[in-house]
A and B are shown apart, each in its own frame.
Chain A
């Protein structure tokens, strides 16, 4: 609900924002199809009702606070029935459901894919009175991207400043550190692997050496005993004469 003072302020601001204000006033006052300045009194009354119902204050508030709050909009409830009601307002004088109506309008415009109903109503409005409504929504669409763009650019504000900002320098240093760390780890693994391999070689060679030594001693002992047996000279076969 809006206080009257706020309401007036909004009226002024609405009027100051050129296209949207006029179109909104005209759309809201579609019952009275006059431009803003002329039928102001009459339109103000109807506008009051309408604006009250639409809770435009929240929309204006959102516009100002929206920079950097883009996700908030997206998370809010995309209530398409509200959008429909918004479009149907001048025709039916229905009361649209309450608070985040304006924001949900915006989400309906931006965030999620629109289901069939809104386009249908848009088409139906096209022919008749609601044509100005379209202008209103268009202008709404037109004005809001500014806030979105700002919020989007706000994130990469640092980048826009130039290549040699603190952030990119830190990033590069960080990447370099990680690379160096990996390289050092590889180097340590290489060294450790070679050391292990050498130790294995040593163990293997020592075992083989021991085995061979033992074999040699065995053979030596066997040869010695054989010599003992064969100490006496013996006649072996010679030429056959």
Chain B
């Protein structure tokens, strides 16, 4: 919201902006997709978005709750990290909290990708891929694939775990002093010939 000398037309714009911003805030507080989809809860603690995060698989940009099939997420996506100071480094974690099945997630979570030392305003191509990208192939059910961005305290302060299963994002963040996430997004993934949750 910016303040300037307004003409009749401008005030209209500003009023509409106010409404939209109010709606935006209202939606975020009541129905933040990360909360409604239980990503905040199952995987993360409530946090505030501080840095922009854009994940793109091919031509498709990932929005929360987007449905993608394994064929569409075969290769690692392009990730653009926001921020302003190139001296800040970020860690990107990609986990599946619904392994092996969302109704019985006893192997929660499965680590698909870990990239550290990403400088602000750049992307994963400039980071250190500690755990290489494993394309999601959920055997049963509709899994949420969550991408989380943390701000590192310094460079080379984060290390890879020994295995991908039973990964705990909260514990991982605590172990390496990553604090709360600065950004997160998720999409849904199911078997290639899954019925999309609809039986008819």
Contact = CB atoms under 8 A, between A and B. Distances in A.
Residue with the greatest number of chain A CB neighbours at <10 A, chosen from B17, B20, B32, B33: B33
Given A192-B36, A196-B33, A207 B103 contact: no
B65 A193 contact: yes
Interface size class of A (residues with CB under 8 A): 20 to 34
Contact of B66 (A194, A203, A214): A194
B103 to A, nearest CB: 6
A76 to B, nearest CB: 43
B20 A190 contact: no
Contact of B188 (A190, A192, A206, A214): A190
A67 to B, nearest CB: 40
Interface in B54-106: 63-66, 102-103
A196 B36 CA distance: 9
Nearest to A187: B197
Contacts of B50: none
A187 B67 CA distance: 13
B80 to A, nearest CB: 16
A197 B39 CA distance: 14
B32 A207 contact: no
Contacts, number: 63
A194 B20 contact: no
B125 interface: no
Residue with the greatest number of chain B CB neighbours at <10 A, chosen from A182, A186, A206, A214: A186
Interface in B23-38: 23-24, 27-28, 31-34, 36-38
A201 interface: yes
B164 interface: no
A199 interface: yes
A203 B33 contact: no
A102 B122 CA distance: 84
A200 B27 contact: yes
A193 B36 contact: yes
B155 interface: no
Nearest to B188: A190
A210 interface: yes
A183 interface: yes
- Considering the complex of A and B, which 9 residue pairs feature the smallest CB-CB distances, nearest first? A194-B65, A193-B37, A196-B31, A193-B36, A197-B33, A197-B64, A193-B33, A193-B65, A203-B24
Given A189-B37, A196-B27, A207-B21, 6 more contacts: A187-B197, A190-B188, A193-B34, A196-B32, A197-B33, A200-B27
